[in-house]
Amino acid sequence: MKKAKIYIATLMITSLSVNSLNAEDNSFTYAGIGGGYSMINAHFMDSDYYINDGTTTRTSKTKNYKEDSIGMKVYGGYQFNKIIAVEASFTDYGTLSSDNYTQKPQSISVYANAGYSFLNNQLRPFGLLGLSYLQTNQSRDLLDNDMGAIHAGIGVEYYPTALKGFGIRGAIESDFHVSSQSAVNEDETHYSSQSFYKRYALFYVGAQYRF
């Protein structure tokens, strides 16, 4: 009888432990889409960068190149618990144009998503860090066209209980790249220094669903 009581007590404790773990299970798959303001910021580290209207007459000289546009992204991932998720995304930074020069950068990224859930798992601020492959799709080969990059960002997402799995996200994400190659066109009227830093960024609002 004593052994039976011990056995029953053990089963009850085990059952309570499993139920407790299930109650704390915060793992799920999610997917979303977002859009917003995009930009490129290129900084030339050694010498200046010349931009003109396509003729041999130089019209501007700068160490920085900045343009903005409207971009979008599609993303999805798997969240293991309240803290860690793994995410992948496709980002289209839109069309970034200046005088007689256009680029339409796009990236594919894989990265860790680390944060913490509050308010009964409704609110979660997070940070992102990982790698991406970026294509600039330039009208003229002034800068590197294909490159690996660092993907990073911060944001917050909110899942209202009443929406039953639907949520919203606000975030800024960027692809960072440093090149040691020169950027010279065929007639050598446009060029950069031997090294330059580029940042493609997207500030967006997204809608997502967790399964």
Q: Which structural domains are found in the chain, ordered by start?
A: 27-210 (2.40.160.20)
Per-residue pLDDT band for 153 (boundaries 50, 70, 90) equals very high
Q: Which of 24-38, 51-65, 197-211 has the highest mean pLDDT?
A: 197-211
Q: What is the mean pLDDT of residues 152-172?
A: 95
Average pLDDT, the chain: 79
Which of these ranges, 72-81, 90-99, 112-121, 199-208, has the smallest mean pLDDT? 90-99
**pTM score of the predicted model:** 0.75
User: pLDDT digits over 91-110, tens only?
Assistant: 999 988 776 778 899 999 99
Q: If DSSP codes are grouped into helix, strand and coil, which group holds residue 20?
A: helix
User: pLDDT digits over 37-81, tens only?
Assistant: 999 887 766 555 554 445 544 444 556 677 889 999 999 999 999
User: Residue 196 has what pLDDT?
Assistant: 72
